[in-house]
Amino acid sequence: MELIVRIIPEDEKKHFPAECGQCGWIGSSADTGGGGPIGQSGDYFDIYCPCCGSIDIGEVDNDQPITGWIERLKKATGLVKLLTNKMEGYDISKYNYTHLEEENKAMAKELYELKNKQ
């Protein structure tokens, strides 16, 4: 017997179960971003994934076998490893600090020179 996960309660009809084709996120369309009306045109913005921001969102069956969730976890783990590998070597806080430190030294030098000219 396969265990089933229900994404949206059966009595909730205004949202639909959605899945991201990019990162594997799955949940209610209520949790996605975007989707609001575009002015008075009657059109709506595309919805996007709350995890990765992709617009590759599609409707999925409400009742999902638990094995599908395991595959999604594997896909998400792979995405985290990929992002971690890409970020290796980038220490943004150190870069920003170094940049700000150099900028502060330059401003201090400029202020010192302006003060000495007076």
Q: pLDDT tens for residues 21-48? A: 888 788 888 888 887 777 777 777 888 8
Of 36-45, 63-72, 86-95, 103-112, least confident by mean pLDDT is: 86-95
**d(C-alpha 19, C-alpha 59), whole Å:** 6
Of 29-38, 50-59, 66-75, least confident by mean pLDDT is: 66-75
Q: Are 18 and 47 in contact (CB under 8 A)?
A: yes
Residues 6+ apart with CB under 8 A from 65: 2, 3, 4, 5
SS3 105: helix
Q: How many CB atoms lie within 10 A of CB 48?
A: 18
Counting Cα atoms < 13 Å in the Cβ hemisphere of 102 gives: 5
Q: What pTM was computed for the model?
A: 0.51
Q: Are 18 and 27 in contact (CB under 8 A)?
A: yes
Q: So where are the chain's domains?
A: 4-87, 89-118
